[in-house]
Amino acid sequence: MMDEKIKHKKQLCELKRVLKKWNYSKHYYEPYMIPISWNCKTYCDDMDEAVNCAQCGRAIRFGEGYTSFEIQTGVGFGYCVCPACHEKEYRKYYQEKVGKNE
């Protein structure tokens, strides 16, 4: 049984890349799996380079993206997300901050 779990985890890691995603209700980072084929970046010299949104996978130019509030590296750099996903993240972030102050 244990060997099967380890084998399954290894297969998942081979197909996926693990990032960190902030959980607003639990207040800590959780593992966030994306397909290994996605080109997700935190930084890029070429603003016209095609990248994938770290939330939905949509292809965008890096210069059209925004820094994610939720999906980050281990040291807190946000990955590039599309405008639509950034808007959703901002609403969650704002709700978390405003909801606590009321």
Q: What is the DSSP string of 15-79?
A: HEEEEEEEETTTTEEEEEEEETT----S--S-TT-EEE-TTT--EEEGGG-EEEEEEE-TTSPEE
pLDDT score recorded for residue 11: 57
pTM: 0.79
Q: Is the pLDDT of residue 101 over 70?
A: no
Segment 8-55, tens digit of pLDDT? 555 555 568 999 999 988 999 999 999 999 999 999 999 999 999 999
CA nearest 21: which of 34, 9, 35? 34
Q: Are 57 and 38 in contact (CB under 8 A)?
A: yes
Q: Is the pLDDT of residue 69 over 60?
A: yes
- Mean pLDDT score, 61-72: 97
Q: Is the pLDDT of residue 65 over 60?
A: yes
Q: Is the dihedral of CA 13, 16, 20, 23 positive or negative?
A: negative
Q: Is the dihedral of CA 42, 15, 30, 94 positive or negative?
A: positive
